[in-house]
């Protein structure tokens, strides 16, 4: 449990550092590239991931910092954060 907590803390710090130092538009571009360049994803998985990216960017209930954090998390871990 302690190792997991340490790893989660490090991932959080790395994610927030990227989110706080990078503009939303740049994070969106990097996320789109990460999705399209991922050779492991099937075409359907890429469509789903790109749909998620658009959902994050269009979510009027999410703050810009929440959007930046979600995209930074995807760039660093490949995980798609639920915005709701």
The pLDDT tens digits of the residues spanning 50-74 come to 999 999 999 999 999 999 999 999 9
CA dihedral sign, ordered 35, 32, 27, 79: negative
Under a CB-based contact definition with an 8 Å cutoff, are residues 3 and 61 in contact? Answer: no
Name the pTM for this structure: 0.88
Under a CB-based contact definition with an 8 Å cutoff, are residues 79 and 34 in contact? Answer: no
Q: How many whole angstroms separate alpha carbon 29 and alpha carbon 54?
A: 11
Query: Given pLDDT bands bounded at 50, 70 and 90, which one contains residue 8?
Result: confident
For tokens 């538009």, what's the residue? 25
Q: How many whole angstroms separate alpha carbon 43 and alpha carbon 71?
A: 20
């Amino acid at each position: 449990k302690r190792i997991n907590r340490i790893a989660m803390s490090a991932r959080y710090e790395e994610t927030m550092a990227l989110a706080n130092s990078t503009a939303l538009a740049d994070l969106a571009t990097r996320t789109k590239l990460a999705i399209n360049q991922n050779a492991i994803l099937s075409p359907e998985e890429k469509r789903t991931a790109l749909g998620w990216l658009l959902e994050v960017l269009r979510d009027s209930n999410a703050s810009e910092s929440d959007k930046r954090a979600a995209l930074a998390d995807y760039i660093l871990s490949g995980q798609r954060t639920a915005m709701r």
